[in-house]
Amino acid sequence: MKLYPLKFTPIFKYRIWGGEKLKTELNKKYTAENIGESWEISDVSGDETIVEEGSLQGKTLKELTQQFKGDFVGHAVYEKFGEEFPLLIKFIDAKTPLSIQVHPSNEIAKKRHNSFGKNEMWYVMQADTNAELIVGFDEKLSTGSYKKHLENNTILDTMHHENVKKGDTFYIPTGRVHAIGAGVLLAEIQQTSDVTYRIYDYDRVDAKTGEKRDLHNDLAIDVIDFETHENYKTAYQIEKNISNELVHSPYFKTNILEINTNVEKDYSNIDSFVIYMCVEGSVEIIVENESYKINNGETILLPAAINFVSLKSENAKILEVYY
């Protein structure tokens, strides 16, 4: 059976802070309320996305990796991760703020949860006026002063708040305390992990359960990086119709392409799958004379066996993600 560019059926997640933008801005189809996340490509146990169309329709990400191995994920990727797909791809809509949170490293996540750690990045797709992200600290804290701020509910005062607009990009390594603020719609690329330690949650009650959500401060305390940094935002430049580096980390590489013509891509030197997330406009993807299309808010995966791709658009931006 032949591999081809694959769209997956998204998994929609209720969140206490979720809104309507996945529907109104990204044209996602669902009826539930407070949907905060669209899991586009996921191998998280119990939340595996399945192929939407074509001869492989109905197969999960896991089944594709098992069946096609290196031809699907890349031979080096398969050698390193086996049947574990290394990335989780999402769109996130925060109508109200997310909890202040932190993610553990690979080593700690493996030991405590038998999971990958959760290094991640954000690309802002839309932001309301004065919307902000919270990333890292603005003042140097000791463990003791941090605990005091937690007790006094003043932890927000110590953190770095940044007003954001479309196109702003942040890399969030494990250990960096962070939160998405109200009014932000973004694309998130992360390791395959659902391990989050909540530090502070505004004392709010989840309408679904009638209870406050659990905090994980005992687990979080030895994970947090208390270092302060001058800049938390990722600086980048865009030259049209080529891949521009956005975030290259040991866990994933993400480029941005702004396309207004026909672009030929040769992936023969990348031993990895490639994921396109459309973050503006729409793009036609041509592989072996077959045409596929993604619109703003859609995602497609190119198996590693596909080396040559033509991209056509009059005006689009896509994130290009690979291992």
Q: Which amino acid is at 162?
A: E
CA atoms within 13 A on the CB side of 210: 0
Same fold, 8-220 and 244-322: yes
Catalytic entry in 112, 198, 204, 213: 198
172, 121 Cβ separation under 8 angstroms: yes
Torsion sign across C-alpha atoms 240, 243, 248, 253:
positive
Cα distance between residue 69 and residue 63, in whole Å: 10
At residue 11, what are phi and psi to the nearest 5 degrees? Answer: -105, 120
Cα distance between residue 97 and residue 3, in whole Å: 40
CA distances from 74 to 71, 93, 158, 270 (A): 6, 31, 43, 8
| Residue list for the binding site | 103, 120, 178
Residue whose pair of structure tokens reads 């040769």 in the numeric block: 266
DSSP per-residue string spanning 91-133: EEEESSPPPEEE---HHHHHHHHSS----EEEEEEEE-TT-EE
318, 279 Cβ separation under 8 angstroms: yes
Task: Count CB neighbours of 30 within 10 A.
Answer: 11
Cross-strand pairs, 320: 255, 276
Q: Which CATH superfamily is domain 244-322 in?
A: Jelly Rolls (2.60.120.10)
Strand, coil or helix: what is 162?
A: strand
| Both tokens assigned to 200 | 């502070």
Torsion sign across C-alpha atoms 37, 319, 72, 86:
negative
Residue whose pair of structure tokens reads 């001869």 in the numeric block: 55
Boundaries of every domain in the chain: 8-220, 244-322
At residue 235, what are phi and psi to the nearest 5 degrees? Answer: -85, 135
Residue 198 appears among annotated catalytic residues: yes
Cα distance between residue 256 and residue 244, in whole Å: 5
Torsion sign across C-alpha atoms 27, 30, 35, 38:
negative
Q: Is 92 exposed, middle or buried (0-12, 13-18, 19+ CB in 10 A)?
A: buried
First and final CA of the chain: distance in angstroms?
Answer: 24
The per-residue pLDDT for 184 is 98
| Residue list for the binding site for Zn(2+) | 103, 120, 178
CA distances from 193 to 120, 132, 150, 174, 229 (A): 10, 25, 26, 12, 26
CA atoms within 13 A on the CB side of 190: 32
DSSP per-residue string spanning 288-309: TTEEEEEETT-EEEE-TT--EE
Cross-strand pairs, 187: 91, 123
Cα distance between residue 123 and residue 121, in whole Å: 7
CATH of range 8-220; options 3.90.1150.10, 2.60.120.10, 1.10.1040.10, 1.10.12.10: 2.60.120.10
pLDDT, tens digit only, all 323 positions of the chain: 899 999 999 999 999 999 999 999 999 999 999 999 999 999 999 999 999 999 999 999 999 999 999 999 999 999 999 999 999 999 999 999 999 999 999 999 999 999 999 999 999 999 999 999 999 999 999 999 999 999 999 999 999 999 999 999 999 999 999 999 999 999 999 999 999 999 999 999 998 899 999 999 999 999 999 999 999 999 999 999 999 999 999 999 999 999 999 999 999 999 999 999 999 999 999 999 999 999 999 999 999 999 999 999 999 999 999 99
The per-residue pLDDT for 150 is 93
Cα distance between residue 102 and residue 225, in whole Å: 9
The per-residue pLDDT for 1 is 81
Q: How many residues does the chain have?
A: 323
The per-residue pLDDT for 207 is 86
